[in-house]
Amino acid sequence: MSRKYFLFLWIGVFMLSGCSAERKLARQFINENKTINVLITPTNRLYKDNLTIEYDTTKYDISKQDSIAWAQSKYIKNISDSLYLTAYTNSIIKELTKNNCNVLLGDTYTQLPQSFTSPWFVEIAQLQILERYSYLGYSQTLIFDEGIRNVPVQFYELSFETWFNIKKDKLAKAETNYYKNDITDDLDVFSFGRNQRNAISTTDVYRFATIAGMQHASLLFDYFMNKYVQQHLPDKQGIRWFHYDRKGNVLKQSHNYRLQKIAAN
Per DSSP, the residues of 113-155 read -TT--SPEEEEEEEEEEEEEEE--S-EEEEEETTEEEEEEPPE
CB 165 within 8 A of CB 123: yes
Beta-bridged to residue 49, according to DSSP, are 130
CA–CA distance, 112 with 171 (Å, rounded to integer)? 15
Task: Indicate the pLDDT class of residue 133, thresholds 50, 70 and 90.
Answer: confident
Give the chain's count of helices (H) and strands (E). Answer: 4, 13
Q: Which residues contact 47 (CB under 8 A, 6 or more apart)?
A: 126, 127, 128, 129
Residue type, 115: S
Q: What are the boundaries of each domain within the chain?
A: 3-264
DSSP run (H or E) holding 228: helix 202-232
Highest mean pLDDT among 111-125, 206-220, 235-249: 206-220
- Stronger pLDDT, 55 or 177, i.e. the higher one: 177
CATH number for region 3-264: 3.30.160.150
Q: What is the reported pLDDT for 34?
A: 85
CA–CA distance, 33 with 41 (Å, rounded to integer)? 24
Q: What is the reported pLDDT for 61?
A: 66
Q: Per-residue pLDDT averaged across 238-256, rounded?
A: 90
Q: Note the Cα 150 to chain centre separation in Å.
A: 35
Q: What is the reported pLDDT for 57?
A: 60
Give Cα separations from 91 to 44, 86, 122, 209, 261 (angstroms): 15, 8, 15, 8, 23
Q: What is the reported pLDDT for 156?
A: 87
CA–CA distance, 156 with 180 (Å, rounded to integer)? 16
pLDDT in tens, 69-103: 888 899 999 999 999 999 999 999 999 999 999 99
Task: Indicate the pLDDT class of residue 56, thresholds 50, 70 and 90.
Answer: low
